[in-house]
Amino acid sequence: MEQYKKLLTETVNVNTGRGRKPATVRNYLYMLNNLSNQLTDKDIGSDNLSFLLNTAEVLQFIIVTHNPRTVRNYITSIMALLLVLDDPEYKNALQEYQVGINTVSLQIAKETKVQEKTVKQLENWTTFKKLQSVTSGYLKWLKAHKVFDKEYSNLLPREKHTLRFWLISALYTSGLDNPPVRADFAPMKIITDKKYDNLTEAEKLYNYLVISKKNKKYFSFGDYKNVHYHGVRKIPVGKKLNSVLNKYLGVFASPPEFLLYTQIGTPMDAGGLSAIMPKVFEPTGKHVNINLIRHIFISENISGDYISEKKPLADLMLHNISMQDAYRLK
């Protein structure tokens, strides 16, 4: 059991700053052990791990004996382990479990009703257009002070502060091409496509802004909440956000190592990004955090129950369809 505890810790502990690891590992081990006992009459171990390769049998068993949400939890636990097992057979099985979790997520989505806003959400609710106006306001200030004509090291503290707030707000208000993800832009490294292609699979379990010679960009998310069953996700940077990033990076003599930094110049982490968000959107007069931005965006952009409408957006936002429906409020 200890060897699997270590492996599971690796797959959910890519970013040690997320802070949800011990309980997650315990839950995964409990479900895997429970499943192993039911199907092999043994605790999970190296001598009986191969039962997970019988994907059809395993999926049939958990689907017949459990409700959809529990089924999803079981498959997530299996995928978390298979993700870090260095064996081609297990990698192939991983793809079949991915199909299974997609199917059950669709089922959960169909059963999920649109939820009502809480009192706190009602108090702070705004429109996505107003959030975008905050981004426009920062850009107007930066242009008025000719910040884009200067080099970053020569900027005044307030200019650096506004530049940082403008970038953060733009990352979360770029619309359908790059809809708002969780706090996955921090920490995020900036890297060329050539260097990215030479990374090991383990090194790709991090978040990157990847830049090509033709100045095209994409985000590679290898460290996010659902990586254990969606894997590394590459999201193209849309035209609008690409323009923002070009302006931002143009201020630097050479590209910085990280996309976001704190006020004191250290790489920003997920907790720091979440904490600063209400200050970034303070001009709205509301207390706006990342979670609320995602609620607002989905509520305005998902109007029906068509899976074809939901799936592409869910993929870009790094969550599944059932989670997307949970974000949709009335």
pLDDT band, residue 229 (cuts 50/70/90) = low
pLDDT of residue 14: 39
Is the predicted pLDDT of residue 13 greater than 70, yes or no? no
pLDDT at 92: 87
pLDDT tens digits, 14-23: 333 344 455 5
The predicted pLDDT at position 306 comes to 41
Would you state the structure tokens that stand for residue 230, as one six-digit string?
């969606």
- pLDDT score recorded for residue 141: 98
Angle (CA) 240 245 251, round 5°: 140
Say which DSSP state 261 is in: B
Average pLDDT for 151-180: 96
Tokens, residue 79: 């995928």
Q: Residue 118 — very low, low, confident or very high, per pLDDT cuts 50/70/90?
A: confident
Which of 133-147, 195-209, 214-228, 298-312 bottoms out in mean pLDDT, i.e. has the lowest? 298-312
Model confidence over 69-82: pLDDT tens digits?
899 889 988 988 88
* Predicted pLDDT of residue 50: 86
Q: Rounded to whole angstroms, how far apart are CA atoms 310 and 70?
A: 22
Domain edges within the chain:
2-111, 119-182+234-327
- What tokens were used for 196? 């990215």
pLDDT tens for residues 253-298?
A: 999 999 999 999 999 999 999 999 999 999 999 999 999 999 999 8
Asked whether the whole model's pTM tops 0.75, one would answer no
pLDDT score recorded for residue 311:
60
Per-position DSSP letters for 267-305, written without gaps between them? BP-HHHHHHHHHHHTGGGTS---HHHHHHHHHHHH--S-
